[in-house]
Amino acid sequence: MKDLARFDINLPTHPRAAVDLAAQTAKIDTLIAEAERFIDLAVERRSALITAAVMGQIDVREAA
C-alpha cells in the first residue's frame, strides 16, 4: 500500500480546464444516450420485421 503514496496525481492547474472537461464529458454523455436510443430503435425494428416475416405479412422467400 505504501507504493500508492508515491504516485503523483496531476490536477488541472488552469481553472478553465475543469470547465472544458465538463463540457466534453457532457457531449460524450449525450452521444452515448443517442447511440443507446438508436440501438433500442434498431432492436425494436428487428423484432417487428421478424414478427412480420413469421406472420406472413412480408414475403421473405426472394431474399433467401
pLDDT digits (tens, 9 = 90+) for 6-58: 777 777 677 788 888 899 999 999 999 999 999 999 999 999 999 999 998 98
Residue 22 forms part of a structural domain: no
- C-alpha distances out from residue 31 to 7, 18, 27, 56, Å: 33, 20, 6, 37
Residue 23 forms part of a structural domain: no
Residue 29 forms part of a structural domain: no
Per this entry, what is the length of the chain?
A: 64
8 Å CB contact between 53 and 47? no
What does the pLDDT read at residue 31?
Answer: 97
Residue 41 forms part of a structural domain: yes
Residue 46 forms part of a structural domain: yes
Residue 49 forms part of a structural domain: yes
Domain of 54, in residue numbers: 35-64
Split into its structural domains, the chain has a count of 1
